[in-house]
Copies of this chain bind each other. A is one copy, B any other.
Amino acid sequence: MKAVTLQDLADTLGVARSTVSRALRDDPQISPTTRHHVRRLARDLGYHPNAAARALTRRHSGVVGVALPRSAPFVFANPYFSTLLEGIASVAEDAGVPILFSASPTPDYERWLREGRVDGLIALGYGVRALDLEQLEGLAGGSAAIALVGAPPRATELPTVIADEAPGVATACARLAAAGHRELALVTGPEGAAYARARASLWRASAASAGMAIVATLHGDDTQPGGAAAARHLLEQDPVADAWLFGNDAMAFGALGALEAAGVRVPTDVAVVGFDDVPPAALLGLTTVHQPIRALGEHAMRLVVAALRGDTAPDHTFSTHLEERRTTRSAPSTPAVSSHGVTEDVT
Protein backbone atom coordinates (compact mmCIF):
# COMPACT_ATOMS: atom_id res chain seq x y z
CA MET A 1 0.00 0.00 0.00
CA LYS A 2 1.84 3.05 -1.27
CA ALA A 3 1.00 6.31 0.34
CA VAL A 4 -0.36 8.96 -1.98
CA THR A 5 2.03 11.83 -2.64
CA LEU A 6 1.86 15.29 -4.08
CA GLN A 7 3.17 13.91 -7.33
CA ASP A 8 0.30 11.46 -7.54
CA LEU A 9 -2.20 14.26 -7.18
CA ALA A 10 -0.34 16.34 -9.72
CA ASP A 11 -0.25 13.51 -12.24
CA THR A 12 -3.91 12.67 -12.10
CA LEU A 13 -4.76 16.36 -12.32
CA GLY A 14 -2.27 17.07 -15.04
CA VAL A 15 -0.65 19.94 -13.20
CA ALA A 16 2.72 20.54 -11.62
CA ARG A 17 3.65 19.27 -8.18
CA SER A 18 4.26 22.81 -7.05
CA THR A 19 0.75 23.82 -7.98
CA VAL A 20 -0.69 21.10 -5.84
CA SER A 21 1.52 22.07 -2.95
CA ARG A 22 0.51 25.69 -3.16
CA ALA A 23 -3.14 24.88 -3.55
CA LEU A 24 -3.11 22.87 -0.37
CA ARG A 25 -1.28 25.58 1.49
CA ASP A 26 -3.71 28.32 0.51
CA ASP A 27 -1.23 30.18 -1.60
CA PRO A 28 -2.98 33.26 -3.07
CA GLN A 29 -1.36 32.76 -6.45
CA ILE A 30 -3.52 29.73 -7.15
CA SER A 31 -6.94 30.25 -8.69
CA PRO A 32 -9.94 29.33 -6.56
CA THR A 33 -11.08 26.73 -9.06
CA THR A 34 -7.77 24.94 -9.22
CA ARG A 35 -7.48 25.06 -5.48
CA HIS A 36 -10.89 23.55 -5.20
CA HIS A 37 -10.11 20.72 -7.57
CA VAL A 38 -6.90 19.93 -5.80
CA ARG A 39 -8.45 19.89 -2.37
CA ARG A 40 -11.23 17.66 -3.47
CA LEU A 41 -8.92 15.14 -5.03
CA ALA A 42 -6.69 15.23 -1.99
CA ARG A 43 -9.64 14.45 0.18
CA ASP A 44 -10.90 11.71 -2.08
CA LEU A 45 -7.54 10.03 -2.35
CA GLY A 46 -6.79 10.46 1.33
CA TYR A 47 -3.68 12.48 0.84
CA HIS A 48 -1.52 13.16 3.89
CA PRO A 49 1.70 15.10 3.53
CA ASN A 50 4.76 13.11 4.43
CA ALA A 51 6.02 14.30 7.78
CA ALA A 52 9.67 13.63 7.07
CA ALA A 53 9.69 15.48 3.78
CA ARG A 54 7.93 18.40 5.31
CA ALA A 55 10.24 18.50 8.29
CA LEU A 56 13.18 18.41 5.92
CA THR A 57 12.30 21.57 4.07
CA ARG A 58 10.80 23.41 6.96
CA ARG A 59 13.78 22.81 9.20
CA HIS A 60 11.58 21.85 12.10
CA SER A 61 9.45 18.94 13.17
CA GLY A 62 6.80 20.50 15.36
CA VAL A 63 7.49 17.97 18.07
CA VAL A 64 8.57 18.65 21.63
CA GLY A 65 10.61 16.12 23.54
CA VAL A 66 10.27 15.31 27.19
CA ALA A 67 13.39 14.04 28.87
CA LEU A 68 12.65 11.67 31.70
CA PRO A 69 15.32 11.42 34.34
CA ARG A 70 15.50 7.70 34.78
CA SER A 71 14.15 4.52 33.37
CA ALA A 72 10.48 3.86 32.91
CA PRO A 73 9.70 1.77 35.98
CA PHE A 74 11.06 4.46 38.22
CA VAL A 75 9.41 7.34 36.48
CA PHE A 76 5.96 5.94 36.04
CA ALA A 77 5.81 4.41 39.47
CA ASN A 78 6.07 7.90 40.83
CA PRO A 79 2.86 9.91 40.59
CA TYR A 80 4.94 13.05 40.69
CA PHE A 81 6.00 12.48 37.12
CA SER A 82 2.57 11.44 35.99
CA THR A 83 1.19 14.67 37.32
CA LEU A 84 3.94 16.66 35.68
CA LEU A 85 3.18 14.89 32.43
CA GLU A 86 -0.47 15.64 32.90
CA GLY A 87 0.30 19.35 32.92
CA ILE A 88 2.73 19.09 30.05
CA ALA A 89 0.47 16.97 27.90
CA SER A 90 -2.50 19.11 28.61
CA VAL A 91 -1.03 22.32 27.19
CA ALA A 92 0.68 20.37 24.44
CA GLU A 93 -2.71 19.10 23.49
CA ASP A 94 -4.12 22.60 23.29
CA ALA A 95 -1.16 23.74 21.25
CA GLY A 96 -1.44 20.75 18.96
CA VAL A 97 2.08 19.67 19.70
CA PRO A 98 2.89 15.98 19.87
CA ILE A 99 5.28 14.83 22.54
CA LEU A 100 8.23 12.56 22.02
CA PHE A 101 9.64 10.81 25.01
CA SER A 102 11.75 7.95 26.03
CA ALA A 103 12.62 7.14 29.57
CA SER A 104 16.29 6.55 29.59
CA PRO A 105 19.27 7.11 31.80
CA THR A 106 21.33 8.12 28.78
CA PRO A 107 20.93 11.59 27.36
CA ASP A 108 19.24 10.57 24.13
CA TYR A 109 17.24 13.72 24.14
CA GLU A 110 20.24 15.89 23.49
CA ARG A 111 20.73 13.85 20.33
CA TRP A 112 17.10 14.39 19.44
CA LEU A 113 17.67 18.09 19.35
CA ARG A 114 20.71 17.76 17.12
CA GLU A 115 19.03 15.32 14.81
CA GLY A 116 16.14 17.68 14.42
CA ARG A 117 13.76 15.09 15.75
CA VAL A 118 12.35 17.63 18.16
CA ASP A 119 12.28 21.42 18.14
CA GLY A 120 12.03 21.84 21.85
CA LEU A 121 12.77 19.96 24.99
CA ILE A 122 11.53 19.78 28.54
CA ALA A 123 14.02 18.20 30.87
CA LEU A 124 12.51 16.85 34.05
CA GLY A 125 14.09 16.90 37.45
CA TYR A 126 17.50 15.67 38.24
CA GLY A 127 17.75 13.97 34.92
CA VAL A 128 19.81 16.94 33.94
CA ARG A 129 23.35 16.36 34.98
CA ALA A 130 25.95 19.11 35.01
CA LEU A 131 27.51 17.72 31.87
CA ASP A 132 24.26 17.69 29.94
CA LEU A 133 23.45 21.14 31.17
CA GLU A 134 26.37 22.51 29.23
CA GLN A 135 25.24 20.80 26.06
CA LEU A 136 21.72 22.05 26.51
CA GLU A 137 22.92 25.58 27.04
CA GLY A 138 24.84 25.32 23.80
CA LEU A 139 21.82 24.04 21.95
CA ALA A 140 19.64 26.76 23.38
CA GLY A 141 22.00 29.22 21.75
CA GLY A 142 20.67 27.87 18.47
CA SER A 143 16.97 27.80 17.87
CA ALA A 144 16.17 25.09 20.38
CA ALA A 145 13.46 25.83 22.91
CA ILE A 146 14.40 24.30 26.21
CA ALA A 147 12.83 24.36 29.64
CA LEU A 148 13.96 22.72 32.85
CA VAL A 149 11.66 21.49 35.57
CA GLY A 150 13.11 21.20 39.02
CA ALA A 151 16.35 22.36 40.53
CA PRO A 152 19.25 22.12 38.06
CA PRO A 153 22.65 20.95 39.34
CA ARG A 154 24.00 24.46 39.08
CA ALA A 155 22.85 27.95 38.21
CA THR A 156 21.97 28.32 34.55
CA GLU A 157 20.50 30.78 32.11
CA LEU A 158 18.10 28.15 30.82
CA PRO A 159 14.47 28.83 31.69
CA THR A 160 13.73 26.86 34.80
CA VAL A 161 10.37 26.26 36.37
CA ILE A 162 10.44 25.56 40.04
CA ALA A 163 8.38 26.28 43.11
CA ASP A 164 9.54 28.18 46.12
CA GLU A 165 9.74 25.49 48.76
CA ALA A 166 10.36 27.76 51.71
CA PRO A 167 6.77 28.67 52.67
CA GLY A 168 5.56 25.08 52.82
CA VAL A 169 8.57 23.93 54.77
CA ALA A 170 8.33 26.86 57.16
CA THR A 171 4.72 26.25 58.09
CA ALA A 172 5.39 22.54 58.37
CA CYS A 173 8.09 23.27 60.91
CA ALA A 174 5.88 25.73 62.72
CA ARG A 175 3.07 23.20 63.01
CA LEU A 176 5.36 20.42 64.12
CA ALA A 177 6.87 22.62 66.77
CA ALA A 178 3.44 23.72 67.94
CA ALA A 179 2.42 20.07 68.21
CA GLY A 180 5.29 19.54 70.58
CA HIS A 181 7.96 17.96 68.39
CA ARG A 182 11.57 18.78 69.07
CA GLU A 183 13.66 16.17 67.32
CA LEU A 184 13.08 15.28 63.71
CA ALA A 185 14.33 12.65 61.30
CA LEU A 186 14.86 13.48 57.64
CA VAL A 187 14.79 11.05 54.76
CA THR A 188 15.96 12.93 51.73
CA GLY A 189 16.62 11.97 48.13
CA PRO A 190 19.67 10.41 46.50
CA GLU A 191 23.00 11.70 47.70
CA GLY A 192 24.06 13.35 44.47
CA ALA A 193 20.78 14.99 43.55
CA ALA A 194 20.80 18.77 43.65
CA TYR A 195 17.18 19.05 44.59
CA ALA A 196 17.65 16.65 47.49
CA ARG A 197 20.52 18.67 48.92
CA ALA A 198 18.51 21.85 48.57
CA ARG A 199 15.49 20.42 50.33
CA ALA A 200 17.61 18.96 53.10
CA SER A 201 19.32 22.21 53.93
CA LEU A 202 16.01 24.03 53.74
CA TRP A 203 14.49 21.63 56.28
CA ARG A 204 17.47 21.99 58.54
CA ALA A 205 17.41 25.77 58.53
CA SER A 206 13.69 25.93 58.93
CA ALA A 207 13.62 23.39 61.74
CA ALA A 208 16.33 25.24 63.60
CA SER A 209 14.49 28.53 63.47
CA ALA A 210 11.41 26.78 64.83
CA GLY A 211 13.42 25.51 67.75
CA MET A 212 13.75 21.93 66.54
CA ALA A 213 16.70 19.82 65.49
CA ILE A 214 17.15 17.18 62.86
CA VAL A 215 18.75 14.34 64.70
CA ALA A 216 18.91 11.80 61.89
CA THR A 217 19.40 12.15 58.15
CA LEU A 218 19.05 9.31 55.67
CA HIS A 219 19.35 9.17 51.93
CA GLY A 220 16.52 7.39 50.18
CA ASP A 221 16.13 6.52 46.54
CA ASP A 222 12.84 8.33 46.08
CA THR A 223 10.90 5.11 45.72
CA GLN A 224 8.25 3.55 47.89
CA PRO A 225 10.32 0.50 48.86
CA GLY A 226 13.16 2.86 49.59
CA GLY A 227 10.93 4.77 51.97
CA ALA A 228 9.91 1.56 53.69
CA ALA A 229 13.53 0.57 54.12
CA ALA A 230 14.37 3.97 55.52
CA ALA A 231 11.51 3.67 57.99
CA ARG A 232 12.68 0.29 59.22
CA HIS A 233 16.11 1.76 59.64
CA LEU A 234 14.79 4.69 61.62
CA LEU A 235 12.81 2.40 63.88
CA GLU A 236 16.03 0.79 65.01
CA GLN A 237 17.48 4.06 66.17
CA ASP A 238 17.32 4.95 69.82
CA PRO A 239 15.64 7.18 70.66
CA VAL A 240 13.30 7.23 67.71
CA ALA A 241 12.56 10.70 66.44
CA ASP A 242 8.84 11.30 66.68
CA ALA A 243 8.44 13.27 63.47
CA TRP A 244 9.75 12.11 60.15
CA LEU A 245 10.22 14.25 57.09
CA PHE A 246 10.43 12.72 53.64
CA GLY A 247 11.95 14.06 50.47
CA ASN A 248 8.93 13.02 48.49
CA ASP A 249 5.56 11.42 48.95
CA ALA A 250 6.49 8.07 47.44
CA MET A 251 8.97 7.43 50.23
CA ALA A 252 6.46 8.59 52.80
CA PHE A 253 3.96 6.06 51.45
CA GLY A 254 6.49 3.31 51.86
CA ALA A 255 7.21 4.46 55.38
CA LEU A 256 3.54 4.48 56.28
CA GLY A 257 3.29 0.88 55.22
CA ALA A 258 6.36 -0.10 57.21
CA LEU A 259 5.08 1.72 60.27
CA GLU A 260 1.75 -0.04 60.08
CA ALA A 261 3.47 -3.36 59.70
CA ALA A 262 5.57 -2.58 62.77
CA GLY A 263 2.53 -1.63 64.78
CA VAL A 264 3.63 1.96 65.22
CA ARG A 265 0.76 4.43 65.45
CA VAL A 266 0.68 7.47 63.18
CA PRO A 267 0.62 10.28 64.17
CA THR A 268 0.51 9.37 67.85
CA ASP A 269 3.89 7.66 68.01
CA VAL A 270 5.46 9.28 64.98
CA ALA A 271 4.25 12.03 62.72
CA VAL A 272 4.95 11.76 59.01
CA VAL A 273 5.36 14.59 56.53
CA GLY A 274 5.76 14.07 52.81
CA PHE A 275 6.69 16.35 49.97
CA ASP A 276 4.97 17.15 46.66
CA ASP A 277 1.38 16.30 47.49
CA VAL A 278 0.85 13.83 44.71
CA PRO A 279 -2.78 12.74 44.21
CA PRO A 280 -2.63 9.57 46.34
CA ALA A 281 -1.45 11.66 49.28
CA ALA A 282 -4.93 13.07 49.68
CA LEU A 283 -6.41 9.58 49.56
CA LEU A 284 -4.11 8.37 52.27
CA GLY A 285 -4.41 11.44 54.42
CA LEU A 286 -0.72 12.15 54.27
CA THR A 287 0.36 15.51 55.57
CA THR A 288 2.68 16.92 52.97
CA VAL A 289 4.20 20.03 51.48
CA HIS A 290 2.02 20.86 48.53
CA GLN A 291 3.68 21.74 45.29
CA PRO A 292 1.59 22.79 42.27
CA ILE A 293 2.98 19.95 40.21
CA ARG A 294 0.55 20.09 37.39
CA ALA A 295 0.92 23.84 37.05
CA LEU A 296 4.68 23.44 36.89
CA GLY A 297 4.32 21.08 33.98
CA GLU A 298 1.87 23.34 32.24
CA HIS A 299 4.12 26.31 32.57
CA ALA A 300 7.15 24.44 31.29
CA MET A 301 5.28 23.48 28.16
CA ARG A 302 3.98 26.98 27.77
CA LEU A 303 7.51 28.30 27.90
CA VAL A 304 8.60 25.91 25.19
CA VAL A 305 5.61 26.56 22.98
CA ALA A 306 6.12 30.29 23.31
CA ALA A 307 9.80 29.95 22.48
CA LEU A 308 8.93 27.94 19.39
CA ARG A 309 6.65 30.71 18.26
CA GLY A 310 9.45 33.17 18.79
CA ASP A 311 7.83 35.11 21.55
CA THR A 312 8.45 34.87 25.22
CA ALA A 313 6.04 33.60 27.83
CA PRO A 314 5.17 35.66 30.89
CA ASP A 315 7.17 34.82 33.93
CA HIS A 316 5.41 33.08 36.71
CA THR A 317 6.47 32.08 40.18
CA PHE A 318 5.13 29.11 42.04
CA SER A 319 4.88 28.58 45.73
CA THR A 320 4.25 25.77 48.17
CA HIS A 321 2.09 25.37 51.21
CA LEU A 322 1.50 22.75 53.85
CA GLU A 323 -1.36 20.38 53.28
CA GLU A 324 -2.13 19.22 56.76
CA ARG A 325 -3.84 15.86 56.99
CA ARG A 326 -3.95 12.87 59.26
CA THR A 327 -0.30 11.87 59.58
CA THR A 328 0.61 14.78 61.83
CA ARG A 329 -0.76 15.68 65.21
CA SER A 330 -2.67 18.87 65.44
CA ALA A 331 -1.54 21.57 67.79
CA PRO A 332 -3.77 21.79 70.84
CA SER A 333 -6.21 24.37 69.51
CA THR A 334 -6.15 24.35 65.71
CA PRO A 335 -8.41 22.20 63.57
CA ALA A 336 -6.20 19.95 61.61
CA VAL A 337 -7.68 17.89 58.85
CA SER A 338 -7.81 19.61 55.51
CA SER A 339 -11.24 20.16 54.16
CA HIS A 340 -10.26 19.24 50.66
CA GLY A 341 -10.75 15.54 50.94
CA VAL A 342 -10.37 12.92 48.32
CA THR A 343 -11.74 14.68 45.32
CA GLU A 344 -8.87 17.10 45.30
CA ASP A 345 -6.48 17.36 42.38
CA VAL A 346 -8.57 15.21 40.21
CA THR A 347 -10.83 17.22 38.01
Residues of A in contact with B (beta carbons under 8 Å apart): 1, 3, 46, 48-53, 55-56, 61, 63, 71-73, 75-77, 79, 82-83, 85-87, 89-90, 92-93, 97-104, 108, 111-112, 114-117, 141-143, 223-225, 228, 253-254, 256-258, 260-261, 279-280, 283-284, 341-343, 345-347
Contact = CB atoms under 8 A, between A and B. Distances in A.
Number of copies: 2
Given A72-B86, A73-B86, A283-B284, A102 B108 contact: no
A63 B55 CA distance: 15
Given A102-B99, A142-B1, A71 B93 contact: yes
A100 B98 contact: yes
A83 B76 CA distance: 7
Contacts of A142: 1
Nearest to A257: B342
B100 A343 contact: no
Given A224-B343, A225-B347, A111 B48 contact: yes
Contacts of A108: 98
A187 to B, nearest CB: 16
Main secondary structure on chain A at its contact with chain B? Answer: helix
A224 B346 contact: yes
A342 B102 contact: no
A94 to B, nearest CB: 9
13 contacts: A1-B143, A3-B114, A48-B114, A52-B55, A71-B93, A75-B89, A93-B103, A224-B343, A225-B347, A228-B342, A254-B343, A280-B280, A284-B284
B76 A116 contact: no
A207 to B, nearest CB: 27
A340 to B, nearest CB: 10
